[in-house]
Amino acid sequence: MFDFISATMKLTVIETGFFKLDGGAMFGVVPKTIWEKLETPDEKNLCTWAMRCLLVQSADRNILIDCGLGNKQSDKFFSYYEPHGDFNLLSSLEKAGLKADDITDVFLTHLHFDHVGGAVSIVDGNYLPAFPNATYWSNQDHWHWAMNPNSREKASFLKENFEPLMHAGVLKFIDAATFDSQTNFCENFDVIFAYGHTEAMMLPCLTVNNKKIIYCADLLPSPSHIPLPYVMGYDVRPLQTMIEKEYFLKRAVSEQWILVFEHAKSVEACTVKTDEKGRVVVDKSAKLSDFI
């Protein structure tokens, strides 16, 4: 965890623990003999991934970007994903000096269970917003998609993680845009939309001291996914993901973006460059604090 304070914004990485996903699913058509050199699988072919959130603070707002897996699901459900680690969402927020009541906004990149599970808690048998004073942010296109899921993606959308937000009246929508444009959310906080992984996923684009910090969500889950063909089997439009990655990474090189990874096990952030063959590759990977 680190803090960075500028004149207008403070950023804090919020670690919520680790979970495991099938390595083949995480790399799609890339053969195991190649991807296992990047991410080591266990005996069940599962690789360990982080669920890294980001806290954005200004003078009057505490904005939490994504909120991890949560703890509402059954033991059987968790047995598929093996959540583990020495920290969780609330303990990491406490380390940052905040309680759940202090969060003013929860920005949800998309509504897959590993990104939105911590948004809702069970209290006396009732599903309630986990951050009682917060406004939750999604977009109409993605909300409709999650509420009416296709068969392929249905297992990723658990309605108890997000439908109670609508019932509680705490949900607001951002207008969706094309992947090659940006929408303003608030001061120094823009949104890039992506449509390959799921419908209208939202990537926060933060400006701190004239540097661009991009929270990559599931467009680039980790540095291991930077090569264009390394597309997750979970993506509903893999060819669109490749188009978006190419556009995104060219901008990341030319504009010297700092990329923050939600799922990389041990790498918080990196910058990228073009190598001698014209491929986009990692330039420097480190803690986010090392870049600012």
Q: What is the pLDDT of residues 211-233, one digit of tens each?
A: 999 999 999 999 999 999 999 99
What superfamily would CATH give domain 3-291?
A: Ribonuclease Z/Hydroxyacylglutathione hydrolase-like (3.60.15.10)
Residue 26 has pLDDT above 80, yes or no: yes
Domain boundaries, the chain: 3-291
**Rounded mean pLDDT, 175-191:** 96
Tell me the average pLDDT of the chain: 95
**Whole-number Å distance between alpha carbons of 150 and 243:** 22
Token pair, residue 167, equals 């019932």
Q: How many residues does the chain have?
A: 292
Check if the beta carbon of residue 234 is closer than 8 Å to that of residue 25.
Answer: yes
Q: Note the pTM of the prediction, 2 decimals.
A: 0.95
**Whole-number Å distance between alpha carbons of 193 and 178:** 6
Q: What residues pair up with 289 in beta bridges, in sequence order? A: none
pLDDT (0 to 100) of residue 9: 87
pLDDT (0 to 100) of residue 3: 43
* Residue-wise pLDDT tens digits, 185-202: 999 999 999 999 999 999
Q: Which segment of 1-10, 120-129, 271-280 scores lowest on mean pLDDT?
A: 1-10
Q: What residues pair up with 122 in beta bridges, in sequence order? A: 127
